[in-house]
Amino acid sequence: MRSRPHVAGSTEFRLLGPVGIRDGATGADIVPPGSKQRALLAAFVTHAGTLLSADRLTEELWGSAPPTNAPNALQAHVGRLRRLLPAPQGPGAGDHEWISTLPTGYLLRLGHATTDVQHFGRLSAEGRAALASDPGRAAGLLRHALSLWRGPALQDSRTGPIGAIEADRLEEMRLCTLEALYEASLRCAQHGEIIGELEKLTAAHPLRERFYDLLMVSLYRSGRQAEALGVYERARRRLADALGIQPGPALSGRMEAILHHSPGLGAPADEPAAASAHPRPAAARNLGDEVARLQHRIDELVWEQRELVRRFDSVVARLPDL
């Protein structure tokens, strides 16, 4: 889905929680009553502007056991969904049709509508870009992005391959946004305020090393070195039990830094007066934000690659000997 600015009063298709629609004209929430229609709407919104073949939609709704009259059943579900959709808003709305029937399938066009996924992605990207130059603003943007979630992505509408893949993609985006949020909080010297939240996240995502890393730094900066080292041991046991592997070099390096009281672990100095007395030129700020955004994305990719390697190793380890 191509990102577009969020316009107040525009219809919004929603996937970050129960699948539904916010009517831009009335503000009413529309939730398709049947699971098949919710799955169908999720597939259309995920691939807005792209033709979805009847065969692909049939697989999404019924898997490997479609009804004998699958084309007619699919057509009926599309018809019910069309009747639920609100009247289009904005210029040229009278000529806009949400769902078009084409010779080989169906196509949803957003027109002037938006999606909560677009809104979340834009806020998350802006927050991550501001992380190095303005962590306070970054934290605000990232918390705003996360506040758009009303539950698990595509809740109760992810049994088909399109829904399952999109739900996994969005969950990964959410976790990366959480990681960036707590990094911003550390840059704002709020280490004591985020310990409880990070404890919950390490329990909920026991194989995600980045949360352990952030928690270790938060505890160390709060004068709790022994507990920070205990977090590393907890991560080591969980990874060994679940995947048969040891923590990666980033987490191991953090443990070593804590053991040796590395100066780089200290909380950032608060120097607002110096920053305001010597403001950077706009071009330098923009370049700095872009460099910070790219560096953070590189960090994310490193963590994601490490997680994929661990999952692959885990699968290989479970294969029977040939």
SS3 108: strand
State how far the Cα of 107 lies from the Cα of 109, in Å rounded to an integer: 6
Distance CA 181, CA 258 (A): 22
The confidence score (pLDDT) of residue 268 equals 77
Question: Is 120 a domain residue?
Answer: no
pTM higher than 0.85 = no
- With residues binned 3-state (H G I as helix, E B as strand, rest as coil), the percentages for the chain, rounded to 5, are 60, 5, 35
Which residue, among 190, 202, 205, has the nearest Cα to 231 in the 3D structure? Answer: 202
Shared-domain flag, residues 196 and 109: no
Asked if residue 240 is part of any domain, the answer here is: yes
Secondary structure tally for the chain: helices H, strands E = 12, 7
Residue 47: burial class (beta carbons within 10 Å; 0-12, 13-18, 19+): middle
Instruction: Tokens for 87, please give them.
Output: 């009247």
In order, the DSSP letters of 135-169 are HHHHHHHHHHHHHT--SSTTBT---SHHHHHHHHH
List the structure tokens of 178. Answer: 């959480």
The pLDDT value recorded for residue 252 is 94
CATH of the domain at 232: 1.25.40.10
Q: Quick check: is 53 in a domain?
A: yes
Q: Is residue 257 part of a domain?
A: yes
Note the maximum CA span of the chain: 74
β 52-53/29-30 pair status: unpaired
Which of 245, 264, 283 corresponds to the end of one domain? 264
User: What are the φ and ψ backbone dihedral angles of 267, each rounded to 5 degrees?
Assistant: -65, 145
Please tell me whether residues 110 and 17 are part of one structural domain: yes
pLDDT at residue 274, rounded to an integer: 31
Single-letter amino acid, residue 140: G
Q: What's the domain range around 45? A: 12-87+98-114
| Nearest residue to 216 via CA among 256, 172, 245, 270 | 256
Last residue of a domain, one of 264, 284, 313: 264
Domain termination site, one of 264, 279, 297: 264
Instruction: State whether the Cα torsion 163-169-175-177 is positive or negative.
Output: negative
Q: What angle do helix axes 195-204 and 161-187 make, rounded to 10 degrees?
A: 150
Q: How many domains does the chain have?
A: 2
288 belongs to a structural domain: no
20, 29 contact by CB (below 8 A)? yes
Sign of the Cα torsion 139, 145, 150, 155 reads: negative
SS3 96: coil
Q: What is the pLDDT along the chain (322 residues), one digit of tens a residue?
A: 444 444 446 899 999 999 999 998 888 999 999 899 999 999 999 999 999 999 999 999 999 999 999 999 999 999 999 999 988 765 555 556 899 999 999 999 998 899 999 999 999 999 999 999 999 999 999 999 999 999 999 998 888 999 999 999 999 999 999 999 999 999 999 999 999 999 999 999 999 999 999 999 999 999 999 999 999 999 999 999 999 999 999 999 999 999 999 988 887 764 333 333 334 455 544 554 454 445 445 555 555 555 555 555 555 555 554 4
Q: Is residue 287 part of a domain?
A: no
